[in-house]
Structure 1
């Protein structure tokens, strides 16, 4: 048995190609299936089966399209309310994939119909746990409905124990979530691989003997998750179409200027400091960079089904279109070029200062406001004395709560602060972006506080 890991670090997930040297099973593929197909070609194997551990909440699946393209059996829980043809699979059922045996194990918790798969080649096992058992954690249990969360958390506790009981101790564990995805119920261990035996020793869901205590602790640590998640499972149940990764014809200067004038969402993909120093007035900053934060925050902050225009280099536009397709944002328009002003010479430009913590200490005047756009739980742990907290993902709906005056905007690293600063400037506010790590604030001499939330008022 060979397992090929297909990482999607932009969303914090993994997909898998499992093969015996001739035929392969694909588990939890993302929508851009060309990566899976490339891995299969390189391995010299035929994709005969595709399986889903659950109806995903954080991305659009490529499973249906991949199965259609290869004439593969599409293994989906018989209890999932889907609108497409699949090979229904039930708890305890086994399927042969060449010389491999694939056993389905019902593991409700992340969703009601979650299914894990134990793959056995006669000598060793691999456990594909989706959003059930993660490295050092488990999948979150609050994505289905608030009324279901308590019951699903109890289910999760029982499910991971059952999965472990049915697996070999030396079996390798391959979860889908837990690599940065908000589908994790808490911070995963950060390791790149693990076994069932290692999880028995160190995973709190397996070491906590008190189920009620586990449920209370997990639920107490459930934090906000991206708003676009609400759209993913319904699309996955309906049967998503293929990803369109084509690059649109670049907008001309007049059209780009019109969109800015009309207040449409024009997204600048350049580095956030370059944006701060000079950008098209009315555009917003979502630095593409490595892509590790771009998709999650754009999908969380901007209207999911709104009209979108990307502005950036060809490479960044190509990567952004691919990444956005994974969360169902299809076929955005684009203006391709390294210099936004050259793309719309007649459009007005804007800028705002970008400073470090020393710049804050030297420049902030009495009456100015420090705006912390981190999540509420981050703010509660430690924050700048007197800072007001409006999490980035709530900013557009709470603009009227942001105090008047000059705003010094920060987050944990600078990324969210850049997005927030651009949104605030677009709304007519006077902003300074703090381009610094929050952990450096105290050592720089910035007074800090802990505890109670001070929200905007």
Structure 2
């Protein structure tokens, strides 16, 4: 008998796994904050005997090296990965015993990276599940363009071959447990569902239903921009990440917050977009703590820029600090809790801006009032429909393209409101008059706004 438990990193769209038998376990692709992994193993009453990496990760800082050090586990890393620390190199076909009859077998699956390796958990000689990392995902595969642009097509073809190898060597009922694909930008396309099997992927995944040339062409055509911070993750993981430090940041008072803003540092307000719009420290940026905080803050912030966190409670600060540490933003220089009244100096007033719905935008546009409609969604989202006459700047490019936005009141929208709120805070800090559209994009058509859609090269209009 064996067990397997998953540890979700919801903000990053990843999962780590703990699996084992009666006494010993393996941890696959652990997060940087290893305390949760250790607690999971302790609840099971098992010793972590192995830590296994499917690849050198490009989207988060691994806790594998530290977890192996703390627990005394053997650290399994693909032999082809160029790393600067001692580890147990793993080659195709290598096996390690977890328990009587329970074996972990390495299976080379290059594509997401050249050295990518999956791990099959065999129970009494039969494959029961496979940890596929960034290889075979739920309805998709890991993207092949994170290593070197000149290798992208070659890795895409390797990804195809690896998926077919998994399907050929494993039975239909073998569970597929990927690391990426639950909202991660390491996935080559959006995925749906929480669980899958080899048989389900054989029936539904393009990589297993299309010929190689058709699959590769579609894969390459669908790749979008990579979060900027990914450029820092691979080198950090290859060098060997330092232990995480989650001790509380230094407290900041109103004067210190003002001084940090004046010095050009980032002050990040973690409160809800509703609360931020109603009142905030002028010049601060809004990244909701319960959204994709790590992904978008790490994507937008100049790398290495000092950051101060603002939130209503110490628990919210601690949660954000933990999430940011996973992407290498290790130590906020300061933090403060409370309300905007606690964060501004005496005699000052909080800044604010209005929120609206698409119906409000339609009404204002119908009256002929001047406005700028700014769409901060990704290219693929905009291709499915856009407000006529809108300006398009994806949110991850906004900070460097503010000068391209025409003069006037800026009504900024995304697909659901979260990114629009962050964009509105960037514009507000830059001195623009802004309205944050806090609405789903489906409501734009319902409100009667003129939309354009591109479908096979044909532009359609709906009024």
Please confirm whether the aligned pair reaches a TM-score higher than 0.5, indicating the same fold.
yes
Equivalent residues of 1:369, 1:387 under 8 A apart: yes
The CA deviation string for residues 42-73 of structure 1, in whole angstroms up to 9 with x for no partner, is 00000010000000011000000000001100
- The whole-number CA distance in structure 2 between the counterparts of 1:78 and 1:275 is 48
Summarize the Cα distance change of 1:362–1:293 in structure 2 as closer, same or farther, 3 Å threshold.
same
The CA deviation string for residues 230-284 of structure 1, in whole angstroms up to 9 with x for no partner, is 1111100000011111112311222112112333210011111111111111111
- The whole-number CA distance in structure 2 between the counterparts of 1:92 and 1:262 is 55
2:96 maps to 95
SS for the counterpart of 1:66 is helix
- The whole-number CA distance in structure 1 between the counterparts of 2:46 and 2:325 is 27
Q: Are positions 1:316 and 2:316 aligned together? A: yes
SS for the counterpart of 1:279 is coil
Unpaired runs of at least 5, structure 2: none
The CA deviation string for residues 85-121 of structure 1, in whole angstroms up to 9 with x for no partner, is 0001111111222232111111110001000011112
Equivalent residues of 1:109, 1:152 under 8 A apart: yes
Q: How does 1:47-66 map to 2 (within 5 A)?
A: 47-66=48-67
Q: Are positions 1:236 and 2:237 aligned together? A: yes
1:279 maps to 280
Greater Cα shift, 57-66 or 98-107: 98-107
- The whole-number CA distance in structure 2 between the counterparts of 1:385 and 1:14 is 39
Query: Which of 138, 143, 146 is matched with 2:141 structurally?
Result: 138
Unpaired runs of at least 5, structure 1: none
SS for the counterpart of 1:192 is coil
Give 1:448 shift.
1.0
Give 1:124 shift.
4.9
| TM-score (norm: length of structure 1) | 0.96
Q: Are positions 1:40 and 2:69 aligned together? A: no
- The whole-number CA distance in structure 2 between the counterparts of 1:281 and 1:239 is 39
Query: Which of 191, 195, 198 is matched with 2:197 structurally?
Result: 195
1:334 maps to 334
- The whole-number CA distance in structure 2 between the counterparts of 1:165 and 1:252 is 61
SS for the counterpart of 1:260 is helix
Give 1:421 shift.
0.8
- The whole-number CA distance in structure 2 between the counterparts of 1:52 and 1:303 is 29
Equivalent residues of 1:260, 1:281 under 8 A apart: no
The CA deviation string for residues 361-412 of structure 1, in whole angstroms up to 9 with x for no partner, is 2334543110001112211210111101011000011111111111111110
Q: How does 1:61-72 map to 2 (within 5 A)?
A: 61-72=62-73
- The whole-number CA distance in structure 2 between the counterparts of 1:434 and 1:335 is 29
Give 1:304 shift.
2.6
Greater Cα shift, 231-240 or 371-380: 371-380
2:263 maps to 262
1:368 maps to 371
The CA deviation string for residues 410-450 of structure 1, in whole angstroms up to 9 with x for no partner, is 11011111111111111111111111111111011122112
Equivalent residues of 2:340, 2:350 under 8 A apart: no
SS for the counterpart of 1:280 is coil
The CA deviation string for residues 110-136 of structure 1, in whole angstroms up to 9 with x for no partner, is 001000011112155210100000111
Equivalent residues of 1:335, 1:343 under 8 A apart: no
SS for the counterpart of 2:446 is coil
1:344 maps to 344
SS for the counterpart of 1:397 is coil
Equivalent residues of 2:412, 2:436 under 8 A apart: yes
- The whole-number CA distance in structure 2 between the counterparts of 1:405 and 1:242 is 48
- The whole-number CA distance in structure 1 between the counterparts of 2:30 and 2:24 is 16
1:416 maps to 419
Equivalent residues of 2:281, 2:343 under 8 A apart: no
1:441 maps to 444
1:115 maps to 117
| TM-score (norm: length of structure 2) | 0.94
- The whole-number CA distance in structure 2 between the counterparts of 1:402 and 1:214 is 38
Summarize the Cα distance change of 1:280–1:269 in structure 2 as closer, same or farther, 3 Å threshold.
same
Greater Cα shift, 425-434 or 45-54: 425-434
- The whole-number CA distance in structure 1 between the counterparts of 2:158 and 2:354 is 50
- The whole-number CA distance in structure 1 between the counterparts of 2:432 and 2:253 is 29
Name segments (4+ residues, structure 1) moved above 4 Å.
none
SS for the counterpart of 1:349 is coil
- The whole-number CA distance in structure 1 between the counterparts of 2:27 and 2:203 is 29
Equivalent residues of 1:317, 1:334 under 8 A apart: no
- The whole-number CA distance in structure 2 between the counterparts of 1:337 and 1:61 is 29
Aligned residue-pair number: 450
- The whole-number CA distance in structure 2 between the counterparts of 1:41 and 1:329 is 28
2:389 maps to 386
Give 1:168 shift.
2.6
Greater Cα shift, 437-446 or 81-90: 437-446
Equivalent residues of 1:263, 1:282 under 8 A apart: no
Equivalent residues of 2:376, 2:395 under 8 A apart: yes
Equivalent residues of 2:253, 2:343 under 8 A apart: yes
